[in-house]
Amino acid sequence: MKALKTLLFDWWQLVRSSRARPYLLITLLVDGAFAFVFLVAIQSYLPEQHGFSAAWPGYALAAYGAAKLAAQLFAGRLIDHAGRKQGLLFGLVLILAGQALLLPAASMPVAVFPAAAVYGAGAAVLWPALYALASGSFAESERARLTSAMMLTTGVALAMGLGLGFLLPPGFPYVAAAALAFGVICLAFVFATRSRPEQAAAQATTAPAKGSLRTVARDVLQPQRLAFSLIVLLQAVAVGALLAIFRSYGRDFLGVSLRSEALILAPGALTGAASVAIGGVLADRFGRGRLLTAGYLIAAPAFLVLAGVKSPADVAVVAMVAGLGLGVALPSITATSMDLSHKAGQGTLLSWFMAVEGLGHAIGPALGGYVTDAGDVEAVLRVAGALFALLALASIALSLALAPRRAGAPSEVERVLAEDGL
């Protein structure tokens, strides 16, 4: 128990530091505005007040995702040439433009699609720039704690965005909702303009330089980055497939209402959220690959077991185990992407990893739907379990590649980056 308190204290010390504050606040504001716009304003106020088709909110979200994926690699090159801080500000400007374009949708509903596309392009620039800045502010031994805090902040932001929709009256004007979200991003822009990210001592003299497209392509094709790209892709596919069957799992497999399903799975969600903080601390202490391997080894059998149990009590317990595994593993994904990209062409490398993740998020739901149609819901759980088992094997290989060769030796990540000229 004392060791756990020490780990959480280390995590809290970093989270409350002045270095972490800009990243957590921007994450809170941007993700909160996103949830309010796409999950409340477009899905509730617009259809109810302006005759918006019930299917269009889904299409708008698809336009956002498609534009974000298409713009991802171009955004990386922009960040590399214009600079990380400028990339962050430009991403916020594009999001503001997308939100401004949402206003005409009150009288011309089709305007929501180009607005969502511009919004997605802004997100494609914003997030790689933010993580590139963070990799310069935090040493390799701190990044998993930061990313775990940012993940928890995203959860809080989503709850705040949805909670605001719950608190506002049903007839709250759509235009006022869009203007409110616009004001939130303006606040994020002002804060980003005034903030001056601190450089970690180990990184102060090693800011990433601009790399040619050929150099970046060569760097992406290095074995460590290819292996990690495969991990990112497979995890995104597995998570996307599971999200696609969320309701059918409760309705068709467990035979319960949405409310009951949420109550059954709530302990698993809370366990996952709590283990994210612990996973971040452990990843900084013991290495990303080890935590990825451990998390996936815990999650894989849990999802295989979920395919065979229907008792609400049993499902709740096994879901807690699955949440523990995913929570332990997730902080290491973003931290590793930062570790493997702190070099020339950093923005493009981060954008590459995010584009691979976006591709997985597109493939996963399609795979989940296909497997469900071809078989049943439990087949998707088995596929997810198999994917997590495969991810554990891939993580072992990555762990061996990134492990120090001897006590006191630089990690493989540092050696690779040194070979690249950093």
Percentage of the chain modeled with pLDDT above 70: 87
Flag whether pLDDT at 310 surpasses 70. yes
DSSP assignment, residue 196? Answer: -
Flag whether pLDDT at 226 surpasses 80. yes
Predicted pLDDT of residue 296: 96
Q: What CA–CA distances, in Å, run from 101 to 43, 109, 179, 397, 407?
A: 16, 11, 11, 46, 56
Q: Report CA 384 to chain centroid distance, whole Å.
A: 19
Model confidence band, residue 328 (pLDDT cutoffs 50, 70, 90): very high
pLDDT digits (tens, 9 = 90+) for 40-93: 888 777 776 766 666 667 788 888 888 998 898 788 888 888 888 999 999 999
Model confidence band, residue 1 (pLDDT cutoffs 50, 70, 90): low
Those residues with Cβ within 8 angstroms of residue 406's Cβ, 6 or more apart along the chain or in another chain: none
pLDDT digits (tens, 9 = 90+) for 344-383: 567 888 888 998 988 888 888 888 888 887 778 889 999 9
Nearest to 52 by CA among 137, 123, 111, 114: 111
Model confidence band, residue 38 (pLDDT cutoffs 50, 70, 90): confident
Flag whether pLDDT at 202 surpasses 50. no
Predicted pLDDT of residue 53: 62
Of residues 217 and 135, more confidence is placed in 135
Model confidence band, residue 105 (pLDDT cutoffs 50, 70, 90): confident
Percentage of the chain modeled with pLDDT above 90: 37
Nearest to 357 by CA among 392, 330, 339, 378: 330
Q: What CA–CA distances, in Å, run from 115 to 63, 99, 119, 268?
A: 9, 7, 6, 36
Flag whether pLDDT at 206 surpasses 50. no
Model confidence band, residue 231 (pLDDT cutoffs 50, 70, 90): very high
Predicted pLDDT of residue 12: 85
Least confident range from 23-32, 72-81, 96-105, 301-310: namely 72-81
Least confident range from 63-77, 172-186, 284-298: namely 63-77
Predicted pLDDT of residue 343: 63
The phi, psi pair for 236, rounded to 5°, reads -65, -40
* Averaged pLDDT score across all residues of the chain: 84
Model confidence band, residue 403 (pLDDT cutoffs 50, 70, 90): low
Cα distance between residue 315 and residue 308, in whole Å = 9
Q: Which domains does the chain have, with CATH numbers?
A: 2-194 (1.20.1250.20), 213-403+410-419 (1.20.1250.20)
Predicted pLDDT of residue 307: 92
Predicted pLDDT of residue 215: 67
Across 265-274, 279-288, 383-392, the highest mean pLDDT is recorded for 383-392
Flag whether pLDDT at 412 surpasses 50. no
Predicted pLDDT of residue 135: 87
DSSP 323-356: HHHHHHHHHHHHHHHHHTT-STTHHHHHHHHHHH
DSSP 109-145: GGGHHHHHHHHHHHHHHHHHHHHHHHHHHS-TTTHHH
Those residues with Cβ within 8 angstroms of residue 258's Cβ, 6 or more apart along the chain or in another chain: 247, 250, 251
First-to-last alpha carbon distance for the chain, in angstroms, is: 41
Average pLDDT of span 259-282: 89
Flag whether pLDDT at 386 surpasses 80. yes
Model confidence band, residue 216 (pLDDT cutoffs 50, 70, 90): low
The region that residue 408 occupies, defined by phi over 0 for left and psi between -120 and 50 for alpha, beta otherwise, is: left
- Exposure class string for 83-109: b at 16+ Cβ within 10 A, else e: bbbebbbbbbebbbebbebbebbbeeb
